[in-house]
Amino acid sequence: MNEFWSNCLNRFQEELSQQQFNTWIKPLDCDIQEANVRLYCPNRFVMQWVKDKFSQQISQLAEDYLKQPCEIEFIISDTKKIDAVEPRVNTAQEVKKPKEVKKKTDTKSANSDGLNPAFLFENFVTGRANELARAAALQIAEKPGESYNPLFIYGGVGLGKTHLIQAIGNFVKSHNSEAKIKYLHAERYVSDVVKAYGNKSFDEFKKKYHSLDLILVDDIQFFAKKPRTQEEFFYVFNSLIESKKQIIITCDTYPKEIADMDERLRTRFSWGLTVAVEPPELEMRVAILLKKAEEAKVKIGEDVAFFVAKQIRSNVRELEGALNRIIAMSNFTGREIDINLAKEALKDLIAVKSRQITIENIQKTVADYYKIKVAEMYSKKRTRNFARPRQVAMALARELTNFSFPEIGEAFGNRHHTTVMHACDEIGGMKNTDPVLARDIAILTQVIRD
């Protein structure tokens, strides 16, 4: 491998998530002749993606390296030389294997910790939408009870929260077989409390929960309107925090927003680190599909993965469901999985999805969300509590429909198109600095697309 390309690889490996790097950059090969840089791509999808997303950066790096302006040529070629990254990854996997097998037999015999051995960091697909949450989870898994406590992970449904916290549990377990770990869905905890009340078996209950080294509670919003459960959890929480035991919680929203929850708990939930998982972007959805297909021992082409990922944007479960349907159809018909089969398998689904997203629908959803009247979307009022939702709606209209800036302006009470452009810029910029706004937009996007 030439020096330039190995520099490039290092750069990208630092900048991109592992998943992105493996999907887009690692399969490439490169050679340089004078000022001509040739990039060999395994197929046209990778080529298009790299061209769109990374070519500028690559040509910048090439110019820095060659110290002259240069040209990048993209070539489709499936003969990629084996690069240096490969063996390292392989050995890492081999070392891990026996441990995984052992874990499986362990949990089969005593499944009281609630951990599913299939949820690991290794098979958690990472992208921009969840890399922060993953990093936090990994850090905590390495030193439970010592860094952030509690870890509070929130986000919409089907975005991998359970996978992530289960991975923490499995990681801790594999490094310390003595650790007392308990994963449970909030609903299970509620019924445990009810049982303890019914049987007057609180000593047992306390023994069970207060002696844990690591507790993982999924979907804590299910504690809403259950004061006894909340009170019991409050005691568990205090006791575990005090003895430096790790608490990990997932929820569909951030602590302050949880409805019908004791204020003392809400405050405590944000004592440690609160991180969001967001809906996966296209490249991550592609990576997820490829990974899931691999796990199901099915071969799907990247064109198929792209097709599916473009159709289904809202959550990972639906994505997996679509893949399941494609596999089922291939099993039934005995046909190979290709783009035509995928189209056929998802015909019903796509028919439902292709319901056009309208500006009116966006305006209504956004107005509902911010609890203002739809009329404020067209009104001239410029107070912040109307202007901001209006801007959000404009930005969403731009992103989710094909309408032009002038058309969007017109739909928002005949505003000038530069107003819309300004709104899009402003919201786009704020999304990166304001986590509350970023979350609002993620949720609204999910709702509107569904």
Q: Which residues bind another protein (CB under 8 A)?
A: 116, 156-158, 185, 187, 219, 222, 252, 314-315, 317-318, 320-321, 324-325, 327-329, 331-333, 348-349, 352, 450
Q: Which is nearer to another protein, 35 or 157 (CB)?
A: 157
**Shortest Cβ 397–another protein spacing (Å):** 21
DSSP-assigned letters across all residues of 289-310: HHHHHHHTT----HHHHHHHHH
Query: How many other CB atoms sit within 10 Å of the CB of residue 77?
Result: 14
d(CA 313, CA 157): 12
Helix (H, G, I), strand (E, B) or coil at 96: helix
Picking from 445, 400, 393, 447, the residue whose alpha carbon sits closest to that of residue 423 is 393
**Shortest Cβ 426–another protein spacing (Å):** 29
| 335 token code pair | 């046909």
Q: Which is nearer to another protein, 193 or 408 (CB)?
A: 193
Q: Which is nearer to another protein, 231 or 320 (CB)?
A: 320
- H helices present in 118-185, as ranges: 131-142, 161-175
**Shortest Cβ 329–another protein spacing (Å):** 6
Q: Which is nearer to another protein, 241 or 341 (CB)?
A: 341
**Shortest Cβ 123–another protein spacing (Å):** 17
Burial 173-183 (b: 16+ CB within 10 A, else e): bbeeeebebbb
Tokens 């000038």, residue? 416
Q: Which is nearer to another protein, 206 or 291 (CB)?
A: 291
Number of residues in the chain: 450
**Shortest Cβ 450–another protein spacing (Å):** 5
Burial 83-101 (b: 16+ CB within 10 A, else e): eeeeeeeeeeeeeeeeeee
Q: Which is nearer to another protein, 61 or 443 (CB)?
A: 443
Q: Which is nearer to another protein, 118 or 138 (CB)?
A: 118
Q: Which is nearer to another protein, 120 or 329 (CB)?
A: 329
Chain-centroid distance of CA 110 in Å reads: 31
d(CA 162, CA 219): 9
| 446 token code pair | 């999910």
**Shortest Cβ 331–another protein spacing (Å):** 7
The answer to whether 75 and 99 are in contact (CB under 8 A) is: no
**Shortest Cβ 319–another protein spacing (Å):** 9
**Shortest Cβ 168–another protein spacing (Å):** 19
